[in-house]
Chain A
Amino acid sequence: MLFLGKTRLPLLLSRLAAEYELFAPVPSGDSHRMARSVPGLDPVFPPFRLSSSLRAFWLQPARVLATWSARGPAPGPEPKPRAIIGAKACDLRALEVLDKVLRGQDFVEPAYAAARDRHFIVSGDCTEAAATCFCTLVEGAPWPERGFDLNLSPAGEGFLVEAGSGKGDRFLLAQKDLLDEAPATLVAERDRRRAQVREQVDRQNEMVRPRSPYLQSVGKHLKTRLWGELAATCVECSACNYNCPTCYCFLLHETRDAGEVKRISVQDSCFHAGYSRMAGGGTPRLQLTERFKNHYFHKFVWFRETFGITACTGCGRCVEACMGKIDKRKCLRDLETRWIPTEVVQEL
Chain B
Amino acid sequence: MDNAFVPMPAVVEDVITETPTIKTFVLSPERPISFRAGQFMQLGIPGLGEAPFTPSSSPFVPERMEITILRTGSVTNALHTLAPGAVVGLRGPFGRGYPVDHFEGREVLVVGGGVGLAPLRALLFWLFHEIDRVKRVSIKYGSREPAELCFRRLHEEWGRLPKVDFTCTIDRPAPGWDGRVGLVTTLLDGLDVDVKEAVVVSCGPEVMLKFVTLKLCDLGFPPEHIFLSMNRNMSCGMGLCGRCNVGPFYLCKDGPDMCYADIKDIPYALG
Q: How far is the CA of A301 from the CA of B245 in the complex (A)?
A: 13
Quick one: given A107-B238, A222-B265, A279-B51, are A254 and B46 in contact (CB under 8 Å)? yes
Contacts of A223 in B (CB 8 A): 267
Report which of B3, B237, B240, B271 forms a contact with A66, defined as CB distance below 8 A.
B3
Q: How far is the CA of A31 from the CA of B208 in the complex (A)?
A: 54
Whether B235 and A251, one on each chain, are in contact in the complex, defined by CB atoms closer than 8 angstroms, is yes
- Segment touching A, from B69-77, B155-163, B174-182: B69-77
How many Å from the CB of A122 to the closest CB on chain B? 28
Whether A248 and B73, one on each chain, are in contact in the complex, defined by CB atoms closer than 8 angstroms, is no
Q: How far is the CA of A268 from the CA of B269 in the complex (A)?
A: 22
Contacts of A109 in B (CB 8 A): 240
Size bin of chain A's contact surface: 35 or more
Whether B241 and A278, one on each chain, are in contact in the complex, defined by CB atoms closer than 8 angstroms, is no
Report which of A101, A254, A255, A302 forms a contact with B240, defined as CB distance below 8 A.
A101
Residue B243 at the chain A interface, CB threshold 8 Å: yes
Smallest Cβ-Cβ distance to B75: which chain A residue: A279
Quick one: given A73-B3, A256-B47, A261-B46, are A345 and B248 in contact (CB under 8 Å)? no
The interface bits of chain A over 152-174 (1 if a CB of B lies within 8 angstroms of the residue's CB, else 0) are 00000000000000000000000
Smallest Cβ-Cβ distance to B244: which chain A residue: A276
Quick one: given A105-B238, A276-B233, are A254 and B267 in contact (CB under 8 Å)? no
Whether A284 and B232, one on each chain, are in contact in the complex, defined by CB atoms closer than 8 angstroms, is yes
Whether A265 and B266, one on each chain, are in contact in the complex, defined by CB atoms closer than 8 angstroms, is no
Quick one: given A66-B3, A279-B73, are A261 and B242 in contact (CB under 8 Å)? no
Residue A275 at the chain B interface, CB threshold 8 Å: yes
Count residues of B near A (Cβ-Cβ below 8 Å). 48
Report which of B44, B73, B237, B246 forms a contact with A280, defined as CB distance below 8 A.
B73
Quick one: given A65-B3, A276-B233, A290-B268, are A249 and B44 in contact (CB under 8 Å)? no
Whether B268 and A250, one on each chain, are in contact in the complex, defined by CB atoms closer than 8 angstroms, is no
Contacts of A252 in B (CB 8 A): 5, 49-50, 235-236, 241
Residue B41 at the chain A interface, CB threshold 8 Å: no
Contacts of B240 in A (CB 8 A): 101-102, 105, 107, 109, 248, 250
Quick one: given A65-B5, A276-B232, A345-B267, are A254 and B48 in contact (CB under 8 Å)? yes
Residue B173 at the chain A interface, CB threshold 8 Å: no
Whether A66 and B5, one on each chain, are in contact in the complex, defined by CB atoms closer than 8 angstroms, is yes
Residue A28 at the chain B interface, CB threshold 8 Å: no
Whether B3 and A278, one on each chain, are in contact in the complex, defined by CB atoms closer than 8 angstroms, is no
Q: How far is the CA of A255 from the CA of B48 in the complex (A)?
A: 7
Q: How far is the CA of A109 from the CA of B239 in the complex (A)?
A: 10
Whether A279 and B76, one on each chain, are in contact in the complex, defined by CB atoms closer than 8 angstroms, is yes
Q: How far is the CA of A280 from the CA of B69 in the complex (A)?
A: 13
Whether B242 and A263, one on each chain, are in contact in the complex, defined by CB atoms closer than 8 angstroms, is no
Whether B6 and A348, one on each chain, are in contact in the complex, defined by CB atoms closer than 8 angstroms, is no
Whether B242 and A249, one on each chain, are in contact in the complex, defined by CB atoms closer than 8 angstroms, is yes
Residue A108 at the chain B interface, CB threshold 8 Å: yes
Q: How far is the CA of A186 from the CA of B163 in the complex (A)?
A: 80
How many Å from the CB of B182 to the closest CB on chain A? 22
Quick one: given A66-B6, A276-B232, A279-B72, are A270 and B268 in contact (CB under 8 Å)? no
Whether A73 and B235, one on each chain, are in contact in the complex, defined by CB atoms closer than 8 angstroms, is no
Residue A68 at the chain B interface, CB threshold 8 Å: yes
Q: How far is the CA of A250 from the CA of B247 in the complex (A)?
A: 18
Whether A261 and B47, one on each chain, are in contact in the complex, defined by CB atoms closer than 8 angstroms, is yes
Contacts of A256 in B (CB 8 A): 46-48
Smallest Cβ-Cβ distance to A306: which chain B residue: B248
Residue B231 at the chain A interface, CB threshold 8 Å: yes
Residue B214 at the chain A interface, CB threshold 8 Å: yes
Q: How far is the CA of A92 from the CA of B4 in the complex (A)?
A: 27
Whether A284 and B268, one on each chain, are in contact in the complex, defined by CB atoms closer than 8 angstroms, is yes
Q: Using a CB-CB cutoff of 8 Å, which residues 268-301 of chain A contact chain B?
A: 268, 270, 275-280, 282, 284-285, 290, 294, 297-298, 301
Q: Using a CB-CB cutoff of 8 Å, which residues 76-117 of chain A contact chain B?
A: 101-102, 105-110
How many Å from the CB of A298 to the closest CB on chain B? 7
Q: Using a CB-CB cutoff of 8 Å, which residues 59-81 of chain A contact chain B?
A: 65-66, 68, 73
How many Å from the CB of A310 to the closest CB on chain B? 14
The interface bits of chain A over 302-324 (1 if a CB of B lies within 8 angstroms of the residue's CB, else 0) are 10011000000000000000000
Whether A282 and B206, one on each chain, are in contact in the complex, defined by CB atoms closer than 8 angstroms, is yes
Residue A253 at the chain B interface, CB threshold 8 Å: yes
How many Å from the CB of B65 to the closest CB on chain A? 20
Quick one: given A254-B46, A279-B51, are A107 and B266 in contact (CB under 8 Å)? no
Whether B245 and A108, one on each chain, are in contact in the complex, defined by CB atoms closer than 8 angstroms, is no
Report which of B4, B237, B241, B253 forms a contact with A265, defined as CB distance below 8 A.
B241
Smallest Cβ-Cβ distance to A286: which chain B residue: B268
Q: How far is the CA of A302 from the CA of B3 in the complex (A)?
A: 27
Contacts of B51 in A (CB 8 A): 279
Whether B6 and A73, one on each chain, are in contact in the complex, defined by CB atoms closer than 8 angstroms, is yes
Contacts of A248 in B (CB 8 A): 240, 242
Residue A30 at the chain B interface, CB threshold 8 Å: no
Please list 26 pairs of residues, one from A and one from B, whose beta carbons are closer than 8 Å in the complex, sorted by A's number: A65-B3, A66-B3, A68-B6, A105-B240, A106-B253, A108-B1, A250-B240, A252-B5, A252-B235, A253-B49, A254-B44, A254-B48, A256-B48, A270-B242, A277-B233, A278-B233, A279-B72, A279-B75, A279-B233, A282-B271, A284-B271, A302-B247, A305-B248, A347-B267, A348-B210, A348-B264
**CB-CB nearest 8 A-B residue pairs:** A256-B47, A279-B73, A107-B238, A249-B242, A302-B248, A66-B5, A65-B5, A280-B72
Other contacts beyond A223-B267, A251-B235, A254-B46: 17, CB < 8 A: A101-B240, A107-B239, A222-B267, A250-B236, A252-B241, A256-B46, A256-B47, A263-B5, A265-B241, A276-B243, A279-B75, A280-B73, A284-B268, A294-B245, A297-B247, A306-B248, A348-B270
